[in-house]
């Protein structure tokens, strides 16, 4: 009976992910790992003995330890990928700042052409 809560939880997360993609708050590339995680959660919720079987195949005596290990590895990979993206964005911000300062300095150096003022009728 407790498995139904995990099934509902996984389905709600999947729906929220699709909602976020639709509203352009989450890219498809970033949502892929979350969808995979939710599918794994669904499989483990529907067939809870599958975790026991996988732990037995891998020689792990306590199946929840396998689940936690897999979760930590997934979070570690996600953290690494996000760190790489942040570093790339940081480099782009520096490049844009340098380009902007170059453009401003060249605008100050070049004299602006003076436009003649219209003569007022008196």
Render pLDDT for 20-67 as a digit per residue (tens, 0 to 9): 999 998 888 888 888 888 888 888 888 888 889 999 999 999 988 998
- In this structure, are 58 and 36 located in the same domain? no
Average pLDDT, the chain: 87
The stretches of 23-62 forming alpha helices (DSSP H) are 28-46, 49-58
The alpha carbon dihedral of 100, 101, 104, 109 has a sign of negative
- In this structure, are 35 and 60 located in the same domain? no
Domain extent for 75: 48-88
> Which is higher by pLDDT, 90 or 115?
90
pLDDT at 68: 92
Question: pTM value?
Answer: 0.65
At 112 the three-state DSSP class reads coil
- In this structure, are 39 and 53 located in the same domain? no
Task: Give the whole-number percent of the chain exceeding pLDDT 70.
Answer: 89
Does the residue 122 lie in any domain?
no
- In this structure, are 68 and 83 located in the same domain? yes
Tens digits of residue pLDDT in 83-94? 999 999 999 999
Residue 122, pLDDT > 60, answer: no
- In this structure, are 42 and 54 located in the same domain? no
pLDDT at 87: 96
CB 31 within 8 A of CB 24: no
Does the residue 113 lie in any domain?
no
Distance, in Å, from the CA atom of 41 to the CA atom of 99, rounded to the nearest integer, reads 47
The alpha carbon dihedral of 44, 47, 49, 52 has a sign of negative
How many domains is the chain partitioned into structurally?
2
Place of tokens 């902007």: 100
- In this structure, are 16 and 28 located in the same domain? yes
């Amino acid at each position: 009976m407790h498995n139904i809560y995990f099934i509902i939880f996984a389905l709600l997360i999947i729906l929220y992910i699709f909602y976020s993609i639709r509203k352009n708050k989450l890219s498809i590339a970033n949502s892929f790992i979350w969808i995979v995680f939710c599918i794994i959660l669904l499989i483990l919720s529907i067939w809870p003995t599958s975790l026991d079987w996988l732990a037995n195949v891998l020689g792990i005596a306590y199946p929840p330890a396998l689940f936690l290990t897999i979760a930590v590895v997934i979070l570690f990979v996600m953290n690494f990928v996000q760190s790489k993206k942040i570093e790339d964005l940081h480099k782009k911000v520096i490049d844009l700042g340098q380009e902007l300062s170059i453009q401003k300095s060249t605008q100050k150096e070049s004299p602006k052409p003076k436009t003649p003022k219209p003569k007022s009728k008196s």
